[in-house]
Amino acid sequence: MTIVEDLLLIPVAVGSVYAATTLLAVLLFARRGEARGFPASALPGVTILKPVHGLERGLERNLRSACEQDYPEYQVVFCVQRLDDPALPLLRRLENEYGQARVTVAAEASEPLLNGKIQNLQIGFRAARHDVLVVSDSDVFTPPDYLRAMVAPLADPDVGYVTSLYRGACARRWYEKLELLTYNADFIPSVVFAHQTGTSGFCLGASVALRRETLQVVGGLSSLADYLVEDYELGRRILARGQRMRLAPYFVDLTVDLSGPGEWWRHQLYWDQNTRAAHPVGFTASVLTRLLPFALLFAASRLFDPVGLIVLAGALVMRTATAAATLAAMGDGVGLRALWLLPVRDLAGFVSWFVALRKRTFTWRGHEFGLTRDGRIVPRSP
């Protein structure tokens, strides 16, 4: 074999080991028990902040799930940054149905910030009544025991924040299933691996709980308004204070709702830009874990001779088998049925990785922004 072929085999080997190791990490995580927490009589009051931007698939179901928690004292705040947001009639209806003691609609026409989610959360924060805050995105479905699982670790004063894993759900179209596989067969296994090995701290902003005091001590929401990966920055600041992160032994479902293949590609690229901004070294090194693309390059370098095809077939079996076992451990039936798309997802992810290394702009909710080297958002000139 040539030197080039030898080099191509390195990520094939590393990627195979990584696939097996992340599977083991997911299996170990799935066997974890519930965290000890507050006595039932001492459960603190909680405010759930739900930032909402427009109508999306499953929105009412997801919002209702937050209003139907098995928890004694909590408030749900739906945060909206536009008075003409098409979701407002639904939010008002839920407020009337559940009552203002349970649901608060916080809607303001405010000056736009670079990070729209932070803008929504600032509006909701002003209406929050309780000192324990849970941020749960509008596309997240929360089962009835969600609040208890998220709040329990905060009984330990050394715990600065709690986050939970999410799995893509409700994907219908082929490009939505590609997005689901990115979540469930690529990103989440890597997060679990980082957690189990202690190699990286993280904060998954789709589902996070913390104390109001902790948020204020690290600068408050306004100090996060120009960060692309505001959840990672929040977690980094809390960990830097010497407090710990706890990962709730829990998966929540995140609804996958895309308008077309173009939005899927923008999401894929945005996802990689997020990862690069949060973990630049880890993102660069992750190229060595991309098993299938390098196996394909190896086979192509040998003009798809028997040796090349054997390596490619072996890589395909390894990647598919470990992904299938991971999806099964996560209870993801949709992902299991969509595994035939996994090679497409991995090859597209390889291209996206290269693009994200250089690209300094990103598109989110139809708007284009610039991105600095330290992960801050800058406005684009019209």
Q: Where are the domains of the chain?
A: 3-28+275-379, 32-259
3-state secondary structure of 218: coil
Backbone angles phi and psi of 268, in degrees to 5: -60, -45
Helices 230-240, 261-278: axis angle to 10 degrees equals 20
Token pair listed for 340: 């035939």
For residue 102, pLDDT beyond 70: yes
Return the CA Rg of the chain. Answer: 21
Which of 91-105, 186-200, 341-355 shows the lowest mean pLDDT across its residues? 186-200
Q: Where are the alpha helices (DSSP H) in 163-305?
A: 174-182, 188-197, 212-217, 230-240, 261-278, 280-285, 291-301
Which of 36-50, 146-160, 284-298, 300-314 shows the lowest mean pLDDT across its residues? 36-50
How far apart, in whole angstroms, are the C-alpha atoms of residue 368 and residue 382? Answer: 10
Helices 342-358, 174-182: axis angle to 10 degrees equals 70
The pLDDT, as a whole number, for residue 350 is: 97
The pLDDT, as a whole number, for residue 279 is: 86
- Identify whether the C-beta of residue 292 lies closer than 8 Å to the C-beta of residue 319: yes
Whole-Å CA distances, 338 to 173, 289, 333: 10, 21, 9
For residue 40, pLDDT beyond 70: no
Closest CA to 31 of 267, 192, 209: 192
| Percent of the chain surpassing pLDDT 90 | 76
Over the stretch 206-229, which tens digit does the pLDDT of each residue have? 999 999 999 999 999 999 988 888
How far apart, in whole angstroms, are the C-alpha atoms of residue 155 and residue 43? Answer: 9
3-state secondary structure of 198: coil
Q: Count Cβ atoms within 10 A of the Cβ of residue 324 and give its class: 0-12 exposed, 13-18 middle, 19 or more buried.
A: middle
Q: 303 - beta bridge partners?
A: none
CB atoms within 10 A of CB 298: 23
Over the stretch 303-334, which tens digit does the pLDDT of each residue have? 999 999 999 999 999 999 999 999 999 999 99
Over the stretch 13-36, which tens digit does the pLDDT of each residue have? 999 999 999 999 999 888 775 555
**Residue range 32-259 in CATH 3.30.450.70:** no
How far apart, in whole angstroms, are the C-alpha atoms of residue 258 and residue 18? Answer: 30
pTM for this one?
0.92
- Identify whether the C-beta of residue 141 lies closer than 8 Å to the C-beta of residue 58: yes
Over the stretch 228-282, which tens digit does the pLDDT of each residue have? 889 999 999 999 999 999 998 878 999 999 999 999 999 999 889 888 888 888 8
The pLDDT, as a whole number, for residue 112 is: 67
The pLDDT, as a whole number, for residue 365 is: 62
For residue 381, pLDDT beyond 60: no
CB atoms within 10 A of CB 86: 11
Please, what sign has the CA dihedral across residues 91, 60, 234, 158? Answer: positive
Over the stretch 158-169, which tens digit does the pLDDT of each residue have? 999 999 999 999
Token pair listed for 193: 């691996």
